[in-house]
Amino acid sequence: MARSKKQKMVGSPPVYRSFKPSGVMRSTLEQIQLELSEYEAIRLADYEGLDHAEAATEMEISRPTFSRLIEKARGKMANFLIDGRELAIEGGNIHFRDNVVKCCNCKHMFNIRMGTGLKSCPECGSDDLVSFAGNFGHGRCCAEIGKNESEEKE
């Protein structure tokens, strides 16, 4: 019997969810799905410059699991770039630590800790906010995980 897959921690949801070659209609492109955990591996290793052990700790997974994850992600990125496909970031067994929120009124974007009860924009006071974690189907689940981690540290 296969082991259940462990949920991976992702810092915050990506602001952009899909990419495609310019000048090509999306309907003609084959789509590659980059899971949120693969996106996080690319962000930590290639953008933040963390080594595999540090990145694995950040994602709360083992170093060998991280190494497999980053190789898979890099393969998908190469396929996207070389073959000119659409890259969509979605799915995976993850939870977010932080959230990105955008005010629909003034367009201000800001990061908050999951579970923070933000009700209005700190710039204009509007309550017309969009949760990027919510766009990926996350919110309460991630907030509960963060709450439990805070209680364990005390």
CATH number of 42's domain: 1.10.10
Q: How many CA atoms lie within 13 A of 73 on its CB side?
A: 22
Comparing CA positions, the residue from 25, 82, 62, 69 lying closest to residue 43 is 69
Q: Are residues 56 and 82 in the same domain?
A: yes
The reply to whether 9 falls in a domain is no
Over residues 122-148, the mean pLDDT reads 78
The reply to whether 142 falls in a domain is yes
Most confident of 80-84, 111-115, 116-120, 146-150: 80-84
Alpha carbons 131 and 124: distance in angstroms, whole number: 17
- Hey, CA dihedral for 73, 74, 79, 84, is it positive or negative? positive
Enter the pTM of the model: 0.84
Total structural domains within the chain: 2
The reply to whether 129 falls in a domain is yes
In the chain, % of residues over pLDDT 70: 87
Contact (Cβ atoms closer than 8 angstroms) between residue 82 and residue 115: no
Over residues 28-46, the mean pLDDT reads 97
Structural domain boundaries, residue 122: 95-153
Q: Are residues 105 and 86 in the same domain?
A: no
Q: Of 45, 60, 91, at which residue does a domain stop?
A: 91
The reply to whether 10 falls in a domain is no
* pLDDT greater than 60 at residue 119: yes
Q: Which of 4-13, 35-44, 82-91 has the lowest mean pLDDT?
A: 4-13
Q: Are residues 32 and 77 in the same domain?
A: yes
Q: Of 71, 91, 111, at which residue does a domain stop?
A: 91
pLDDT score for 149: 53
Q: Of 72, 91, 110, at which residue does a domain stop?
A: 91
pLDDT score for 153: 47
Name the average pLDDT for the chain.
Answer: 88
The reply to whether 100 falls in a domain is yes
